[in-house]
Structure 1
Amino acid sequence: MQQTGFRAAHRLVEIANAVRADPQLPRDAVVDLLVRHGEREADLSEGEFRDSDVRGLREAALVLAEVLAESDTDRAATALDDLLSQHAAPPRLSRHDGHTWHLHTHDEAAGWSGWFLASGAFALARLLSEYGRATWGECAAPGCRVLYLGGGPGAPQRYCGAACGTRVRVAEHRRRRKESREPSPG
């Protein structure tokens, strides 16, 4: 189980979005996501990554999704501090199973859910401390609940992508145009 740079934050967002879309996300889909984010398939075999691990990881993803959906930086920081105090261990460098040196922030005995909670909270805490605010969020477009990682400094991001942002701006433009054409009551 590795964590390198901000890859853990991207892994967190992708898995959290997948579990929010399907709270019973099948084992194979969870494994595919983890492999795509650098975990070794051998570590995710049936004997190593059991159904209880899949359930725990899905539950952990939903806990972290609440932090990702939190728009208030102070509340997000408090939630991250709580997760770190409950699930993180002193950071240490590790190199194992063919991986390069990387940082472990979890108790080795914590299992997959503990690893996911600790590494996800640590990744978000790093982002928050680097930019001084939560640079993530839940898309503000009506009907879209996709979580995203923002780009860092600059204006805070409000939408998961250009399509949602454009859809909202076009709808607002049409609404204003329609209102300006309506006769005033009188």
Structure 2
Amino acid sequence: MLFAHDAELSLLSAVALVNSAEDPDTLTTREELAEFFTDQGYSGRFDGDDAELEAVRALRPTLRSLLTSSRDDAVLEVNRLLAESSALPRLVRHDTLDWHIHAVADDSPLATRIVVETAMAMIDVIRADELSRFDVCADPDCNGLVLDLSRNRSRRFCSTTCGNRAAVAAYRARKAQ
């Protein structure tokens, strides 16, 4: 494991949120927000209303910028996000997770919890100088983000769909020759 378990989960969730903006947008309804909340294993307050949906959707450009920034810019952004959110880290244990960090109250809005959890996870990434683990999908028709947690840094595509599309295109190009 490259980073702490909770940090990896937060980073994967942030990438999933950013990539939900790719065409087709997969975070457009309250039902899709509820599914995202459940799939990503978030705990605490969940309003599930239109205001929360819009607040979470509005995070996507901020998180994309953070995850693709240089190390020094990421430090500035992490510090800004944590200060704006009045983050106060504490250790907690709930559900099936062992001790991990929460930095805002469980009844804080979902968008606040997402941005703070991402910022806290980015602290590990920055300290380990591992921002190169983030990249843009190798599919030329996709702008999705990739978080490569593999040992040999071999992940190139944001999803199996993009990887398959690239493989089919390469196959067709070889056959056309």
Would you call these one fold, judging by a TM-score over 0.5? yes
Match of 2:112 among 108, 114, 117: 114
Aligned-residue offset at 1:17: 1.0
Residue 142 in structure 1 maps to residue 140 in structure 2: yes
Residue aligning to 1:52: 51
Match of 2:13 among 11, 14, 20: 11
Aligned-residue offset at 1:77: 3.4
Residue aligning to 2:72: 74
Residue aligning to 1:36: 39
Aligned-residue offset at 1:29: 0.7
The TM-score, its normalising length taken from structure 2, stands at 0.71
Aligned-residue offset at 1:35: 0.5
Q: Which amino acid aligns with 1:138?
A: V
% of aligned pairs identical?
21
Matched length: 166
Aligned-residue offset at 1:99: 6.4
CA distance in 2, matches of 1:119, 1:167: 37
C-alpha spacing 1:165/1:115, structure 2 compared with 1 (3 Å): same
CA contact (8 A) 1:87 1:107 kept: no
Residue aligning to 2:88: 90
C-alpha spacing 1:19/1:160, structure 2 compared with 1 (3 Å): closer
- Partner-residue secondary structure (3-state), 1:106: coil
Q: Which amino acid aligns with 1:59?
A: A
- Partner-residue secondary structure (3-state), 1:148: strand
CA RMSD of aligned residues (A): 3.5
Q: Which amino acid aligns with 1:133?
A: L
Aligned-residue offset at 1:31: 0.9
- Partner-residue secondary structure (3-state), 2:84: helix
Larger radius of gyration: 1
C-alpha spacing 1:82/1:163, structure 2 compared with 1 (3 Å): farther
- Partner-residue secondary structure (3-state), 1:53: helix
- Partner-residue secondary structure (3-state), 2:31: helix
CA offset digits 1:48-95 (Å, max 9, x no partner): 333212211111233112223x25333333333322332251210124
C-alpha spacing 1:24/1:35, structure 2 compared with 1 (3 Å): closer
CA offset digits 1:88-122 (Å, max 9, x no partner): 51210124578654310225564111111101121
Gaps of 5+ in 2: none
